Chains A and B, each alone.
Chain A
Amino acid sequence: MTTSFPSTHYACPCSDLTSAPPPPSSKRASIQPTSFQVNEEQAFNPHSPRADYTLYPLDHLLFCDECDEIRCPRCWTEEVLYWYCPHCLFEVPSSAVKGDGNRCSRSCYDCPSCTSPLAVTQISQRDEALLRPSDAAGGNETYVLQCHYCDWSTLEINVHFNKPTKITEQLVKQRKSRTSGSKENVSSEKAAITHDDAFANLTNFYEDQLNETVEPQNAYPGSPYSSPANLARIMNIYGGLSHNALKKTREKPQPMREARGHAEGQTSFSANDSDTGIIQRLQSFGWDATTTSEQCLSAPVNNDTRFTDDLWPSATRLRTRRAKRCKSCRHIIARQEPKVGSMRYKIRLLAMNYIPRLSIRPLNPTVTTTNPAFHLRPDMPEQEKLQPHQTKQYVLTIRNPLFETVKITLATPTTTPGKVASRVTILCPSFTVGPAGEVWDEALSASTQSASSDGGRKAAMASLTGSSESSDRQPEAGKIWEKTRNSTSVVVEIIPGSLRPPPSIVPKTEEELADAELKEDDDVLEVPVYVRAEWETEVKPGETVQGRKEVGGMAGEKVRKEVGYWVALGIGRIAG
Chain B
Amino acid sequence: MSRPTAPVSRRSTKTEYIETDTGNKISRRAYIEGKQNIMLGGKTVIMAGVHLRGDLCRKPEPAAEGEKEKPNTTAISIGRSTVVSTNTTVRPPMRLHKGQMTFIPMRIGDNVFIGPNSHISSASISSHVYVGANCVLSPLCIVKESSKILPNTVVPPGMTVPAGTVVGGKPAKILGEVGDGWGQGGGGEGEEWVEGGDLRALVRSVK
Q: Report if A455 contacts B (CB, 8 A).
A: yes
Q: How far is the CA of A378 from the CA of B183 in the complex (A)?
A: 24
Residue from B1, B174, B185 in contact with A352 in the complex, judged by beta carbons closer than 8 Å: B185
The answer to whether B47 and A371 touch across the interface, beta carbons within 8 angstroms, is no
The answer to whether B1 and A370 touch across the interface, beta carbons within 8 angstroms, is yes
CB distance from A462 to the nearest CB of B (A): 13
| A206-231 interface (Cβ within 8 A of B) | none
Contacts of A357 in B (CB 8 A): 185, 188
| A334-379 interface (Cβ within 8 A of B) | 334, 341-343, 345, 348, 350-352, 357, 359, 361, 368-371, 373-379
Q: B142-169, CB under 8 A of A: which get 1 and which 0?
A: 0011100001001011111011110000
Residue from A117, A361, A375 in contact with B116 in the complex, judged by beta carbons closer than 8 Å: A375
Q: How far is the CA of A565 from the CA of B158 in the complex (A)?
A: 44
Given contacts A59-B194, A341-B163, A456-B189, contact A378 B117 (CB under 8 A): yes
Q: Report if B71 contacts A (CB, 8 A).
A: no
Q: Report if A407 contacts B (CB, 8 A).
A: no
Residue from A60, A343, A378 in contact with B133 in the complex, judged by beta carbons closer than 8 Å: A378
The answer to whether B187 and A442 touch across the interface, beta carbons within 8 angstroms, is yes
Determine, out of B17-25, B54-62, B80-88, the stretch whose residues face the partner at the interface.
B80-88
The answer to whether A373 and B130 touch across the interface, beta carbons within 8 angstroms, is yes
Q: How far is the CA of A57 from the CA of B196 in the complex (A)?
A: 14
The answer to whether B171 and A114 touch across the interface, beta carbons within 8 angstroms, is yes
Contacts of A368 in B (CB 8 A): 1-3
Q: Report if A399 contacts B (CB, 8 A).
A: yes
The answer to whether B2 and A373 touch across the interface, beta carbons within 8 angstroms, is no
Contacts of A397 in B (CB 8 A): 188-190
Q: Report if A327 contacts B (CB, 8 A).
A: no
Closest to A463 in B: B3
Residue from B2, B144, B188 in contact with A376 in the complex, judged by beta carbons closer than 8 Å: B2
The answer to whether B116 and A57 touch across the interface, beta carbons within 8 angstroms, is no
Contacts of A200 in B (CB 8 A): none
Q: How far is the CA of A361 from the CA of B189 in the complex (A)?
A: 10
CB distance from A262 to the nearest CB of B (A): 37
Determine, out of A31-39, A84-92, A511-519, the stretch whose residues face the partner at the interface.
A84-92
Contacts of B86 in A (CB 8 A): 376-378
Contacts of A374 in B (CB 8 A): 83, 113, 193, 202
CB distance from A295 to the nearest CB of B (A): 13
Contacts of B158 in A (CB 8 A): 116-117, 119, 148
Closest to A360 in B: B190
The answer to whether A115 and B184 touch across the interface, beta carbons within 8 angstroms, is no
Contacts of A455 in B (CB 8 A): 189
Q: Report if B182 contacts A (CB, 8 A).
A: yes
Residue from B85, B145, B160, B195 in contact with A377 in the complex, judged by beta carbons closer than 8 Å: B85
The answer to whether A378 and B184 touch across the interface, beta carbons within 8 angstroms, is no
CB distance from A397 to the nearest CB of B (A): 7
Q: Report if B191 contacts A (CB, 8 A).
A: yes
The answer to whether B87 and A371 touch across the interface, beta carbons within 8 angstroms, is no
| B98-157 interface (Cβ within 8 A of A) | 113, 115-117, 128, 130, 132-133, 138, 144-146, 151, 154, 156-157
Contacts of B171 in A (CB 8 A): 114-116, 149-150
Given contacts A352-B185, A368-B1, A379-B5, contact A149 B138 (CB under 8 A): yes
Q: Report if B180 contacts A (CB, 8 A).
A: yes
Given contacts A368-B1, A375-B133, contact A342 B157 (CB under 8 A): no
| A10-65 interface (Cβ within 8 A of B) | 56-62
Contacts of A361 in B (CB 8 A): 190
The answer to whether A371 and B191 touch across the interface, beta carbons within 8 angstroms, is yes
Given contacts A341-B162, A350-B184, A370-B2, contact A116 B156 (CB under 8 A): yes
Q: How far is the CA of A530 from the CA of B174 in the complex (A)?
A: 34
Q: Report if A487 contacts B (CB, 8 A).
A: yes
Contacts of B144 in A (CB 8 A): 89, 341
Q: How far is the CA of A352 from the CA of B83 in the complex (A)?
A: 26
Q: Report if B28 contacts A (CB, 8 A).
A: no
CB distance from A458 to the nearest CB of B (A): 11
Given contacts A359-B188, A374-B193, contact A60 B116 (CB under 8 A): no
Q: Report if A460 contacts B (CB, 8 A).
A: yes
Residue from B128, B178, B180, B193 in contact with A348 in the complex, judged by beta carbons closer than 8 Å: B180
Given contacts A59-B180, A350-B184, A352-B185, contact A376 B162 (CB under 8 A): no
Given contacts A59-B182, A345-B180, A361-B190, contact A377 B116 (CB under 8 A): yes
The answer to whether A343 and B1 touch across the interface, beta carbons within 8 angstroms, is no
Q: Report if A306 contacts B (CB, 8 A).
A: no
Q: Report if A438 contacts B (CB, 8 A).
A: no
| B169-207 interface (Cβ within 8 A of A) | 171, 173-174, 178-185, 187-191, 193-195, 202, 206
Contacts of B178 in A (CB 8 A): 59
CB distance from A440 to the nearest CB of B (A): 13
CB distance from B204 to the nearest CB of A (A): 11
Q: How far is the CA of A342 from the CA of B194 in the complex (A)?
A: 20
Closest to A115 in B: B173
The answer to whether B85 and A375 touch across the interface, beta carbons within 8 angstroms, is yes
The answer to whether A117 and B163 touch across the interface, beta carbons within 8 angstroms, is no
The answer to whether A456 and B181 touch across the interface, beta carbons within 8 angstroms, is no
Q: How far is the CA of A59 from the CA of B197 in the complex (A)?
A: 11
Q: How far is the CA of A114 from the CA of B169 in the complex (A)?
A: 11
CB distance from A213 to the nearest CB of B (A): 41
Residue from A57, A343, A373 in contact with B145 in the complex, judged by beta carbons closer than 8 Å: A343
CB distance from B86 to the nearest CB of A (A): 5
Residue from A334, A359, A376 in contact with B85 in the complex, judged by beta carbons closer than 8 Å: A376
B160, B163, B189 pick with most chain A CB within 10 angstroms? B189
Q: How far is the CA of A324 from the CA of B187 in the complex (A)?
A: 27
Q: Report if A135 contacts B (CB, 8 A).
A: no
Q: How far is the CA of A357 from the CA of B188 in the complex (A)?
A: 10
The answer to whether B190 and A58 touch across the interface, beta carbons within 8 angstroms, is no
Q: How far is the CA of A56 from the CA of B206 in the complex (A)?
A: 30
A86, A114, A350, A487 pick with most chain B CB within 10 angstroms? A86
Q: How far is the CA of A345 from the CA of B183 in the complex (A)?
A: 13
Q: Report if A319 contacts B (CB, 8 A).
A: yes
The answer to whether B159 and A116 touch across the interface, beta carbons within 8 angstroms, is yes
Contacts of B160 in A (CB 8 A): 86-89, 117
Contacts of A60 in B (CB 8 A): 179-181
Q: Report if A550 contacts B (CB, 8 A).
A: no
Q: A352-B185, A376-B83, A376-B86 are in contact. List 19 more A-B contacts (CB 8 A).
A: A59-B194, A86-B160, A86-B174, A114-B171, A116-B159, A117-B156, A319-B165, A319-B174, A343-B128, A343-B182, A345-B180, A350-B180, A350-B185, A368-B3, A376-B115, A376-B116, A377-B5, A454-B189, A456-B1
25 CB contacts below 8 A, A to B, read A56-B179, A57-B179, A59-B182, A59-B185, A86-B174, A114-B156, A116-B157, A116-B171, A117-B156, A319-B165, A343-B163, A343-B182, A345-B180, A350-B181, A350-B184, A351-B181, A361-B190, A368-B1, A368-B2, A370-B1, A375-B116, A377-B85, A397-B189, A455-B189, A487-B188
